[in-house]
Amino acid sequence: MLAAFRSAAFRFALMLAVVVALGAGALLLVVERQMGYYAQEASDGMLRAEASVLASEYAELGLSGLTDAIARHRGSDVDPPYRYLLIDGTGHRLAGDLPLRAAQDDQGVVTVPEDFDGSRRFEHLAARQTRLPNGLMLVVATDSFDVLQLRHRLERFTIWSGLAIATFALIGGYLVGRIFLRRLATVNRTIDRIVDGERAERLPPIGFGPEFDDLIRNLNRMLDRNAAAMDALRQVSTDIAHDLRTPLTRLHQRLERMQAASIGDLENIDAAVEQTNGLLATFEALLRIGSIEGGVGRRRFALVDLSELLDRIHAAYAPVVEDSGQTFIAQHPAGVAVFGDVDLLAQLFTNLIENAIVHTPSGTRIISCLKVDGTQAIVDICDTGPGIPPEEREKVFRRFYRRDASRNTEGAGLGLALVAAIANLHQADCIIPESVEGLCVRLVFRLPSVDTQVTDAP
């Protein structure tokens, strides 16, 4: 749920909701003001019309006719439509029931006390003053309760309508964000499968408009071209390795026959056999790295007991390490399992251990450590040898990279490159952390969840 609120779709909908709410609020405010102004004008027009009628009565019939007209218009109703006040030039009341201050206050509003159900309250009346000949002053007032009530209702309607529009816009933004995230999650799962080695996968359409469809189409075209380029490059390297391996194999076989028949210079023949063995091993490693990077190994993934695998490797290499004058220490808690190819994982750990045996002097301690940290299984293969300078730690995982100190040892610089390829296939982080002494290579695997075991187990 929180992901939907943090999504770009929700933020866009939120901005749109703010704009819509402000626009709707401004529109409703204008409507409220116009309707209030119209109601006020209508009330003022009625007062002007009533005052004009009474002024006509005064012009035709004089003061007595005006007082009679006021009494007649006032009638006997408890709540008459109009109320009046007529005073002379000295301020004395001649007719009407409005308070005298109505003639003194020119604000257009008169406040009069009213008795309602035994309680006293004040009522606000809209008033209009009209001066008549001979110093007379006529005040006509009417109840403005309906106008005020209309304006109050319009104000409340404006506020609640603005809030309702903003709320519906936010709800719509949340729903749009959820839909967008659900479709985006499908795209991300496809990307994960592509990264995991399923190169034939392509991104599904999002369906939110032609812009997104064009983006997905262009990304799929890019994936097609990258896949074609990688396949071509991998095929070239594989073909070269195969083509060179065949004559090397034949040469190696001829040298072995000469060696077996004791023909020629046996010392040189032995050296040539050893060199061809190294070249064939190099080509085998190149072909294996190419197949691993192509994702071939994932077809054999199953649940692997990492604790038991590391114990077996320790038992197999402990005598070799001891013969080299080194010490092999293992710390492997039981019951730690990951998904992977058991043969490739064995190749990974043996490469690291053999690398430590070859490149460290006698008296070195080689340590294989396994631990669990939350949802991760961490394997450290460390030694107390000379180590690697910090500036070369990322380079050692490249193909054919060899440090100057390792030039005189056997190998082609493919051991750690094979380690990196196998770790990448298993989605494991392969890093060289800071260490006090020697070299430490850390592999961080993700522990399988219950859902992963159900979906990924063969």
Domain positions in the chain are 6-151, 196-294, 297-456
Contact partners, residue 135, CB within 8 Å, separation at least 6: 88, 89
Q: Chain centroid to CA 235: how far?
A: 39
Contact 83, 114 (CB under 8 A): no
Which CATH topology does 297-456 take?
Heat Shock Protein 90 (3.30.565)
Q: Which residues of 210-231 are buried (b: 16+ CB within 10 A; e: fewer)?
A: eebeeebeeeeeebeeeeeeee
Residues 6 or more apart whose CB falls under 8 angstroms from that of 190 comprise 201, 202, 203, 204
DSSP 8-state symbol, 401? -
Question: At the topology level of CATH, where does 6-151 sit?
Answer: Beta-Lactamase (3.30.450)
Residue 205's identity, in one-letter code, is: P
Radius of gyration of the chain, Cα coordinates, nearest whole angstrom: 48
How many CA atoms does the CB half-sphere of 283 hold within 13 Å? 18
- What are the residues facing 137 on neighbouring strands? 87, 131
pTM: 0.45
Which backbone phi and psi does 53 adopt, to 5 degrees? -65, -45
Residue pLDDT tens, the chain, 458 long: 555 566 666 677 677 777 777 777 777 778 777 777 777 787 788 888 988 988 998 888 888 888 888 888 877 666 778 888 899 888 888 888 888 888 877 667 777 776 666 666 777 788 888 888 888 989 888 876 666 677 777 778 777 877 787 787 777 777 777 777 788 888 888 887 777 667 678 888 877 667 777 888 888 888 888 777 666 666 666 666 666 666 667 666 766 767 676 666 666 666 666 666 655 555 565 556 555 555 555 566 789 999 999 999 999 999 999 988 999 999 999 989 998 888 888 888 988 898 888 888 888 999 999 999 888 999 999 988 887 776 666 666 665 555 444 434 444 456 677 788 788 878 888 888 876 578 888 999 988 864 444 334 33
Q: Which of 91, 94, 81 is nearest to 126 (CA)?
A: 81
Closest Cα to residue 154, out of 44, 41, 36?
36
Nearest partner of 128 among 74, 69, 55, judged by Cα: 55
* Half-sphere exposure in the Cβ direction for 25 (13 Å, CA): 12
Q: What CATH architecture is 196-294? A: Orthogonal Bundle (1.10)
